[in-house]
Amino acid sequence: MLKRIKHVVSIIECRSAGVAIRELSTSRPYSCRGQPSYQSHPHLLKQGEVCPGLTQAEFATRRWRLMQAVSADASNNLLLIMSATTRYMSNDIPYPYHQDTDFLYLCGFQQPGGVLVLHSEPTQTREHVSALFVPRRDPARELWDGPRSGPDGAAELTGIDLAFPIDELPGYLSRFRDPAWTLWCNELDLDHPGWLRRSFDVVLGEARHDARLRSPNNYLQLLRLVKSPAEQHLMEMAAKITAQALVDTMATCKAPVDEAYLYAKFEFECRVRGAEILAYPPVIAGGNRANTLHYVKNNQIIKNGELVLVDGGCEYRNYASDVTRTWPVNGRFSAVQVAVYEAVLRVQRACVAQCRPGTTLQHLQQLMLTLLEDELQELRIVDTQLDHSEKRKATQRYCPHHVGHFLGLDVHDSPSVPHNLPLQPAMLLTIEPGLYIPEGDDKAPAAFRGIGVRIEDDILITDTGARVLSAGCPTDPEDIESICGSR
Ligand code: GLY
Ligand code: MN
Ligand code: MN
């Protein structure tokens, strides 16, 4: 039998979205453990927040919007969103847990082993029901893994309609066998426990393979693309922390220096400012290593006279930043280095200047390639005599990546959104042109070989244009030279 978690609740209206959310009574003992809450971490969360800066009402609005979006396509909708599983680096030793970002976006629950179920309400007494299934409390496991919320704590923290122990999921799902239901669910992967796979197969039967099974990804990605004011604030904080950490990293940089030192310095400066982790393994690449786009070994000595490219970003309260700066490790650009650097900077500034509502990533990509092509000819790296397609091919060889990407809970956020979608206010993206001239490139003049430059900023689209959230770390070469080694 399913047991509803009993709360003393009062219903308040979330008028903007037309959804009812629950405001928790403070008259009963608080039971949420397993992730920060207002009661356990008042320095991080305010009352009514599920995650720092994000209220129960905001999460209820997100679920409501998703249900509205899918109901444009079908009438009886059941959505299943799985939390990320714990991964292990060796026997009994877990990697730091990182929640699935769709699951996090919809309920803010940061612990493993949960499934979020959203469905239209068959009795029509409300528009939809949100039910969160989480692991039961288990003192024996909690001795090792630390406290967990259990269903009552999860309900209390998130303010969700219903919360149940995860083992009651198959019973709950059995009511949705009727083919009238459209099932919105991503395929389970091998990391999901076998019992979850089996319970889905049993409960959903043939439907797992028929046309009623659909992925919610496109709808979710479109929702996640436009950030709420609270999300914009968190993203601004993430970008600011990263920008300041880059300034501090530059300021202590003296040649020669180990890439590992700059890595540690950058991460330290992010974390002392309140970032929990880095959003991705950073690239700390001296000299020619900057031409390996995903160089993450970060274990070489950067020699006097070389450039260093640092592509790093902190994750602050689950939101990512992603910034790149390139600077001379000894604090002075050489003539050749500054020529390449300024070429990239002109292109970066021109692309940022085009960021505004209505433009598209596709347009910005074409603009970047056109401008880089001109710069490469000015530098005499690309021969002006080549025909148009040869020039374009050469330009793409010297900048093989895209001008940028959307940014949010994930570094590469909403990756399936088409690049011809017009930008809107409250979207966030990176602008990150680069030029990479490998030391073995015998087509480029010798003086340029071994230079790799990228300049990347985090951009918020506003009503009238755009704001560079990572502007706290300068890009002007003179500013960079005056920061380098200044401490
Ligand atoms: N740091 C990954 C990227 O710039 O896309
Ligand atoms: Mn980056
Ligand atoms: Mn990026």
Considering its fold, how many domains does the chain have in total?
2
CA distance 192 to 201: 13
Up-side HSE of residue 225: CA atoms within 13 Å toward CB? 20
Q: Are residues 248 and 218 in the same domain?
A: no
Confidence tier at 274 by pLDDT (50, 70, 90): very high
CB of 279 shorter than 6 A to ligand 1: no
CA of 283 to the centre of ligand 3 (A): 11
pLDDT for residue 28 = 54
Angle between helices 388-398 and 361-378 (to 10 degrees): 100
Q: Are residues 207 and 350 in the same domain?
A: no
Q: Are residues 398 and 459 in the same domain?
A: yes
CA of 469 to the centre of ligand 3 (A): 14
CA distance 184 to 119: 10
Closest ligand, as measured to the CA of 401: 1
Mutation choice for ligand 1 from 365, 368, 430, CB with most ligand atoms inside 8 A: 430
pLDDT for residue 189 = 72
Q: Determine the atom of ligand 1 nearest the C-alpha atom of 280.
A: 1
Q: Are residues 318 and 274 in the same domain?
A: yes
Q: Are residues 282 and 317 in the same domain?
A: yes
CA of 84 to the centre of ligand 1 (A): 22
Confidence tier at 192 by pLDDT (50, 70, 90): confident
In three-state secondary structure terms, 203 is helix
CA of 44 to the centre of ligand 1 (A): 28
pLDDT for residue 388 = 96
| Cβ contact 73:226 at 8 Å | no
Closest ligand, as measured to the CA of 459: 3
| Cβ contact 285:259 at 8 Å | yes
Q: Looking at the predicted structure, is the pLDDT value of residue 89 above 80?
A: yes
Q: Looking at the predicted structure, is the pLDDT value of residue 2 above 90?
A: no
Residue 200's φ and ψ, nearest 5 degrees, are -65, -45
Q: Please list, residue by residue across 350-374, b when 16 or more beta carbons sit within 10 angstroms of its beta carbon and e when fewer do.
A: bbbebbebebebebbbebbbebbbb
Per-residue pLDDT, averaged over 261-280, amounts to 98
Q: Are residues 373 and 243 in the same domain?
A: yes
CB of 457 shorter than 6 A to ligand 1: no
CB contact set of 343 (below 8 Å; sequence gap of 6+): 372, 375, 376, 378, 379, 435
Q: Looking at the predicted structure, is the pLDDT value of residue 10 above 70?
A: no
Q: Are residues 49 and 168 in the same domain?
A: yes
Q: CATH no. for residue 388? A: 3.90.230.10
pLDDT for residue 121 = 80
Q: Whose CA is closest to 456, among 409, 407, 403?
A: 403
DSSP H stretches of helix in 259-334: 259-271
CA of 436 to the centre of ligand 2 (A): 15
Q: Are residues 281 and 336 in the same domain?
A: yes
Q: Determine the atom of ligand 1 nearest the C-alpha atom of 456.
A: 4
CA of 243 to the centre of ligand 1 (A): 15
Confidence tier at 465 by pLDDT (50, 70, 90): very high
From 224, 240, 262, give the residue that closes a domain.
224
Q: How far is CA 311 from CA 194, 327, 332, 417, 433, in A?
A: 38, 12, 20, 24, 12
Q: Are residues 167 and 235 in the same domain?
A: no
Strands 257-258 and 301-302: antiparallel
Q: Residues 410-434: pLDDT tens digits?
A: 999 999 999 999 999 999 999 999 9
CA of 311 to the centre of ligand 1 (A): 7
From 192, 224, 256, give the residue that closes a domain.
224
- 52: preceding bond cis by omega (within 30 degrees): no
CB contact set of 386 (below 8 Å; sequence gap of 6+): 394
CB of 236 shorter than 6 A to ligand 1: no
pLDDT for residue 287 = 98
Q: Are residues 328 and 192 in the same domain?
A: no
Q: Residues 214-231: pLDDT tens digits?
A: 999 999 999 999 999 999
Q: Are residues 130 and 149 in the same domain?
A: yes
Average pLDDT of the chain is 91
CA distance 190 to 197: 9
Q: CATH no. for residue 42? A: 3.40.350.10
Task: Report how far Cα 105 is from the mean position of its chain's Cα atoms.
Answer: 11
Q: Determine the atom of ligand 1 nearest the C-alpha atom of 405.
A: 5
Q: Are residues 91 and 65 in the same domain?
A: yes
From 224, 256, 282, give the residue that closes a domain.
224
Q: Determine the atom of ligand 1 nearest the C-alpha atom of 404.
A: 5
Structural domain containing residue 380: 226-484
Tokens representing 227?
């950030």
CB of 411 shorter than 6 A to ligand 1: yes
**pTM beyond 0.85:** yes
* Atom 3 of ligand 1, residue of closest alpha carbon: 322
Kind and range of the H or E run holding 436: strand 434-437
Q: Residues 310-319: pLDDT tens digits?
A: 999 999 999 9
Lowest mean per-residue pLDDT among 108-122, 147-161, 191-205, 454-468? 191-205
